[in-house]
Amino acid sequence: MKNNQKDCKRFNSLSCVREFMDVDLPEEIKDEDSFGDAFLFAESMPLKKKHKIHLAKNRGSYRKYTVEQIEKLFDLIIEEGFATKDAALVTGINIRTAQDYVKTYNNDSQKRLPGTYNKPCGRSCSKLTKEHSKFFVDYVKKNTTAVLDELKLKLCEKFEGLKNSISVIYKHLQREISTE
């Protein structure tokens, strides 16, 4: 039995299975019509199919271009008639970034160069004023157990057309009341 286990280590797992099933080892097979060749063929095939995993390319490091580079890019494109790709290669700006800069420039009604101005904030400033702060203070003095939801309702009743969320009221109270 120990001898068989040593022989079993020489062959892969299919050979071991065949040995335990009382099947002859490949070198003992002499009959042409046997399944020995089929076992040898099966042994040579991998048991699991290896799949190639395509890894996504890592994004390159972020590069912030100087105002001078951007100005030079647009000088070459507008004044000298360079193609965007050629101007990008000359200035050292990534081609796709240069194309995006040109698109942004063309879509801007004021024709400002990208990177030379600050983008506007997505949210507008709070519509709550000092008058609203005074209303909050007076209301809380009268109703010491008032909660934000109640403050919101009373604010909308007093100032018609004003719509604010509870979080806006909370932030306003933190900012305005804490400074008084």
Q: Is residue 22 part of a domain?
A: yes
DSSP character at residue 77: I
Side-chain-facing half-sphere of 24: CA atoms under 13 Å: 11
Q: Is residue 58 part of a domain?
A: no
- For the chain, the domain total comes to 3
Whether 100 and 137 map to the same domain: the answer is no
pLDDT in tens, 139-172: 889 998 988 889 888 888 888 878 888 888 888 8
Q: Is residue 51 part of a domain?
A: no
Q: Is residue 11 part of a domain?
A: yes
pTM for the complete prediction?
Answer: 0.38
What is the predicted pLDDT for the residue at 83? 95
Q: Which two tokens stand for residue 104?
A: 């942004």
Q: Is residue 60 part of a domain?
A: no
Q: Is residue 163 part of a domain?
A: yes
Could you tell me the residue range of the domain that residue 74 belongs to? Answer: 67-107
Task: Decide if pLDDT at 25 tops 90.
Answer: no
C-alpha of 163 from chain center: 33
What is the predicted pLDDT for the residue at 99? 94
- Residues 89-111 have a mean pLDDT of 91
- Residues 98-105 have a mean pLDDT of 92
CA distance 56 to 50: 19
What is the predicted pLDDT for the residue at 49? 58
What is the predicted pLDDT for the residue at 21? 55
Average model confidence (pLDDT) across the chain: 76
